[in-house]
Amino acid sequence: MSDPNEWNRKIIDEFRANEGKVGGQFANTPLLLLHTIGVKSGQRRVNPVAYVKNDDRYVVIASKGGAPTNPDWYHNLVANPEVNVEVGSEQFTASAEVAEEPERSQLYKKMVAKNPGFAEYQRKTTRVIPVIILTPEE
């Protein structure tokens, strides 16, 4: 499937149909759905992303599979850090913050421990891959 939007749509549909569980390559990877507002379009965007928990916060990585550029959703949440999140059957608003060092590296290592593919993403690129902390709003 060459269209990334179609690929994401299928994962999103499966996620919602199964209370956050998906199969295939993501069968053992905790995913959340990240809702952002497009910087240029102003339209709502939804992206499935892997996460790890850090206390009451959710940590996501803007890896784009090790591509030389950050994913569009990263630019969207930097411009508008109030995002909506779906985890399992739960939905909430969160504040997104780009982690600074040394916390960025600590959280990245935590993701690699759960999802070793993220180590390969870092090896594939010269950019420092951003780590984003999603803190649910009260």
Q: Which domain holds residue 81?
A: 4-136
Q: How many CA atoms lie within 13 A of 62 on its CB side?
A: 24
Q: How many CA atoms lie within 13 A of 78 on its CB side?
A: 12
Residue 57 scores a pLDDT above 60: yes
Instruction: State the amino acid at position 27 in one-letter form.
Output: A
Output the pLDDT for position 2.
53
Q: What is the domain-level CATH number for residue 103?
A: 2.30.110.10
Segment 99-103 mean pLDDT: 97
Rounded to whole angstroms, how far apart are CA atoms 88 and 120? 27
Number of other CB atoms surrounding residue 100 within 10 Å: 8
Q: What's the number of domains the chain is made of?
A: 1
Residue 25 scores a pLDDT above 90: no
pLDDT in tens, 107-138: 999 999 999 999 999 999 999 999 999 999 97
Q: CA nearest 12: which of 49, 65, 62?
A: 49
Task: Check if the beta carbon of residue 78 is closer than 8 Å to that of residue 37.
Answer: no
Q: What is the pTM of this model?
A: 0.93
Output the average pLDDT for the chain: 94
Output the pLDDT for position 1.
42
Query: In the block, which residue shows the tokens 């969160």?
Result: 94
